[in-house]
């Protein structure tokens, strides 16, 4: 066959070499119940391209998309307006150079924008330096924990109860392979984050403490107090930022004592995109630069004294001795980093501050209106553009009923924390500059009807 060049004899020889009797033996680690026993029931063996397009379009039409209804979802992915100029500029020829900038003489456009991106992230995070981006926020969080272990030579990490549970799952999954000791604190439905519990969990064996800022319920932890307690016993503080627009209004985590700051850059320049691809951000203190994963672009001069950009550090096994590598991350999110950088450049420092102020104002307006709905209370003492609303019944049911009324009314804490029964009445609600007065009123009206048990 044209696309299967190996003959049965070739396959038999390969299996014999590796000691497997059949191809099925290669999947022995996959549980039998997780393997397909045969064709998928109801799925035709083949169909024409037009038939598949019609079928997929019909399935897509069943979705309630972000732009077609009042939208109050957040929890780590936020709907912001991305200027049309961002999409136009990322397609310019200056940036359509070599995908991987190994040859600086033909990749100056890519290298320069990554250099500028690093500067922007470092200033946003309040850190000395930042790398050329990671895959996404959750994997950046794990890389930071690995980095802290290398620096402190300790293996115990404390995860705040306010850390996004999906980030925690990534950390615990990866720790199975490194044998790191991960202490995950329980989430609590309190008006303010339990900073005292985080501080109490830090001891002399602690490598790092991971704190989301603002946290998954929209609360704002006291990073300065946590940093002071961690540094007293030689531990590092890793701050996780899932909504970078917040840093236009609240103090940068690096200035509050965080040693490593990581996060998700999706909010700037990158659309929701069905959950990805997104953009990991990573910054730290300069003294830790050689332990930082990923790439670092630098500025230099050529033989004629002209300014140029090069790949200064790339601490992965492809470039240096494997045992000296800090990470096996194989690239950076170049296109998303470019979009992030262009959007942030268009905003500027003052523009980011104004955008953040509008987000906060929209959130205030939303929660003031929701607080008037019978049975609804607002949990948070403080928040940026996202907070937790307490409902009189399971928020998962309410979310589904709101969707039936053409309102995307937030993310239920029961979905994020399915085994934490005490959180199931919590609804995480986010508002951004895209939220209108009409959206807020439609949400409040629909929520009041759902809670009252009125028929749609």
323-361 per-residue burial string, b: 16 or more CB within 10 A, e: under 16: eebbbebeebbbebbbbbbbbbbebeeeebeebbebbbe
Give the pair of three-digit tokens for residue 360. 């906060």
Q: Residue with structure tokens 């900073």? A: 195
Q: What CA–CA distance (Å, rounded) separates 44 from 415?
A: 33
Q: Are strands 386-390 and 377-378 parallel, antiparallel or unpaired?
A: antiparallel
pLDDT of residue 99: 57
Q: What CA–CA distance (Å, rounded) separates 122 from 116?
A: 10
Q: pLDDT tens digit string along 161-208?
A: 999 999 999 999 999 999 899 999 999 999 999 999 999 999 999 999
Q: What CA–CA distance (Å, rounded) separates 389 from 412?
A: 9
Give the CA count within 13 Å in the CB-facing half-sphere of 52: 7
pLDDT of residue 397: 97
Q: What CA–CA distance (Å, rounded) separates 206 from 235?
A: 6
Find the mean pLDDT for residues 62-85. Answer: 94
Q: Would you place residue 329 in the very low, low, confident or very high pLDDT band (cuts 50, 70, 90)?
A: confident
- Provide DSSP, 349-413: HHHHHHHHHHHHHHHHHHHHHHTTSTT-EE--SS-SSEEEEE-SS-HHHHHHHHHHTT-B--EEH
Find the mean pLDDT for residues 294-319. Answer: 83
Answer yes or no: is pLDDT of 319 > 80: no
Distances (CA, A) of 349 to 91, 104, 120, 344, 362: 24, 30, 10, 8, 20
Answer yes or no: is pLDDT of 455 > 50: no
Give the pair of three-digit tokens for residue 87. 């999409």
Give the CA count within 13 Å in the CB-facing half-sphere of 50: 0
Find the mean pLDDT for residues 424-449. Answer: 98
Answer yes or no: is pLDDT of 417 > 70: yes
pLDDT of residue 36: 86
Q: Would you place residue 247 in the very low, low, confident or very high pLDDT band (cuts 50, 70, 90)?
A: very high
* Lowest mean pLDDT segment, chosen from 50-59, 96-105, 343-352: 96-105
pLDDT of residue 456: 45
- Burial zone of 241 (CB within 10 Å; 0-12 exposed, 13-18 middle, 19+ buried): buried
Which fold would CATH assign to domain 84-343? Answer: 3.40.640
Give the CA count within 13 Å in the CB-facing half-sphere of 257: 20
Find the mean pLDDT for residues 52-70. Answer: 92
For the chain, the structural domain boundaries read 84-343, 349-452
454 against 144, higher pLDDT: 144
Q: What CA–CA distance (Å, rounded) separates 431 from 436?
A: 9
Find the mean pLDDT for residues 401-417. Answer: 96
Q: How many C-beta atoms lie closer than 10 Å to residue 192's C-beta?
A: 14
Mean per-residue pLDDT over the chain, rounded? 92
Pick the CATH number of 349-452 from 3.20.20.140, 3.40.1350.10, 3.40.50.170, 3.90.1150.10: 3.90.1150.10
Q: Where are the beta strands (DSSP E) in 76-152?
A: 129-130
Q: What CA–CA distance (Å, rounded) separates 204 from 171?
A: 21
Q: How far is CA 112 from the centre of its chain?
A: 25
Residue closest to 238 by CA, chosen among 295, 324, 167 = 167
- Return phi, psi of residue 221, to 5°: -70, 160
């Amino acid at each position: 066959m044209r696309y299967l060049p190996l003959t049965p004899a070739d396959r038999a020889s390969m299996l014999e070499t590796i000691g497997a009797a059949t191809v099925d033996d290669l999947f022995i680690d996959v549980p039998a119940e997780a393997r397909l026993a045969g064709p998928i029931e109801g799925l035709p063996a083949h169909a024409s391209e037009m038939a598949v397009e019609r079928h997929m379009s019909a399935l897509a039409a069943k979705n309630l998309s972000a732009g077609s209804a009042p939208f109050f979802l957040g929890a780590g992915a936020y709907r912001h307006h991305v200027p049309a100029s961002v999409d136009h500029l990322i397609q310019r020829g200056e940036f359509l150079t070599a995908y991987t900038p190994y040859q600086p003489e033909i990749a100056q456009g890519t290298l320069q924008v990554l250099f500028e991106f690093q500067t922007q992230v470092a200033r946003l995070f309040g850190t000395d330096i930042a790398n050329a981006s990671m895959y996404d926020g959750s994997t950046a969080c794990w890389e930071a924990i690995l980095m802290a272990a290398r620096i402190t030579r300790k293996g115990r990490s404390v995860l705040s109860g306010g850390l996004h549970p999906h980030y925690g799952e990534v950390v615990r999954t990866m720790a199975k392979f490194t044998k790191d000791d991960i202490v995950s604190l329980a989430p609590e439905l309190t008006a303010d984050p339990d900073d005292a519990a985080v501080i109490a969990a830090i001891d002399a064996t602690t490598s790092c403490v991971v704190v989301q800022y603002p946290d998954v319920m929209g609360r704002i932890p006291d990073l300065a107090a946590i940093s002071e307690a961690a540094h007293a016993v030689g531990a590092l503080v890793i701050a996780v930022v899932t909504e970078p627009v917040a840093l236009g209004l609240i103090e940068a985590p690096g200035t509050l004592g965080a040693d490593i700051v990581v996060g998700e850059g999706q909010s700037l320049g990158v659309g929701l995109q069905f959950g990805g691809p997104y953009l990991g951000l990573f910054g730290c203190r300069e003294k830790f630069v050689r332990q930082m994963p990923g790439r670092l672009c630098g500025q230099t001069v050529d033989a004629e004294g002209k300014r140029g950009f090069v790949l200064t550090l790339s601490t992965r096994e492809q470039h240096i001795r494997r045992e000296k590598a800090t990470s096996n991350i194989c690239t950076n999110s170049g296109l998303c980093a470019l979009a992030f950088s262009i959007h942030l450049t268009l905003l500027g420092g003052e523009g980011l501050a104004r955008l953040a102020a509008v987000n906060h104002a929209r959130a205030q307006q939303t929660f003031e209106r929701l607080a008037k709905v019978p049975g609804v209370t607002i949990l948070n003492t403080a928040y940026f553009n996202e907070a937790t609303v307490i409902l009189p019944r399971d928020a998962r049911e309410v979310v589904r009923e709101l969707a039936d009324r053409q309102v995307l009314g937030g993310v239920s804490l029961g979905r994020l924390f399915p085994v934490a029964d005490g959180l199931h009445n919590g609804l995480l609600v986010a508002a951004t500059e895209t939220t209108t007065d009409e959206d807020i009123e439609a949400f409040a009206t629909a929520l009041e009807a759902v809670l009252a048990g009125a028929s749609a």
